Amino acid sequence: MLYDITRTITSRLAVWPGDAAYVAAPQMSLAAGESVNLTSLTFSPHTGAHADAYYHYESDGAHPAGMPLEAYIGPARVISVTKRDGALVPADFAPGALANVERLLIHSHVSDLPDDQFAETFPYLSEALIAYLAAQGTRLIGLDSPSVDAFDSKDLPCHHALKAHKMVNLECLYLRGVPDGDYELVALPLKLDAACGSPVRAILRELG
């Protein structure tokens, strides 16, 4: 059983306020008698489920092509949280729930929002939670929220803490209907140069 934890990228899929929404523009068209349908794409790499590259918040940081691929594939745990806004700390999780988690995917109310509604109120990470997870070897933290930091954060402490701990993140996942538990995650970024992030086709495979 596969869970597709990716929203369909359409022109109406909400993006961060001011960011570039998805446009698939026709360059050639069969209907116009040309030999193929050919489209060009314009959109923020933070549209829908995506991996932030370190370059997103540090000038000498890696682009998607240079991000550590192995972090985005392997055992993952889905955990639901009831907090609708504010920073998540280790105490927001049940005792033992985070033990030995290699990849943590946090499921919040944001997955219940329609595609065209941007969540300005969402749970995000804390430096304390990132340090706690890093100390036990966690490689990846994914959220359905649009950022690992608060909506109005300008210094982005959680983004920087992830890089400092050599961890990676996924944002804007779609976890509606996915039971909490352990899975295999596959969410590979495209091998893009120069970009600040990459869309991913994020899936969870049930463990046999």
Known catalytic residues are 56
Closest distance of CB 16 from Zn ion, Å: 8
Residue closer to Zn ion by CB (options 51, 88) is 51
Please state at what angle helix 157-164 crosses helix 127-135, rounded to 10 degrees: 20
Counts for the chain of helices (H) and strands (E), in that order: 2, 13
Cα–Cα distance list, 133 to 67, 126, 137, 159, 166 (Å): 19, 11, 7, 14, 12
Residue nearest to Zn ion (CB): 46
Closest distance of CB 119 from Zn ion, Å: 13
Which of 182, 202, 186 lies closest to 111, judged by CA?
A: 202
Which of 199, 123, 129 lies closest to 161, judged by CA?
A: 129
Residue closer to Zn ion by CB (options 137, 164) is 164
Closest distance of CB 173 from Zn ion, Å: 11
Residues that bind Zn ion (CB under 5 A): 46, 52, 171
First to last CA, the chain: 9
Residue closer to Zn ion by CB (options 113, 184) is 113
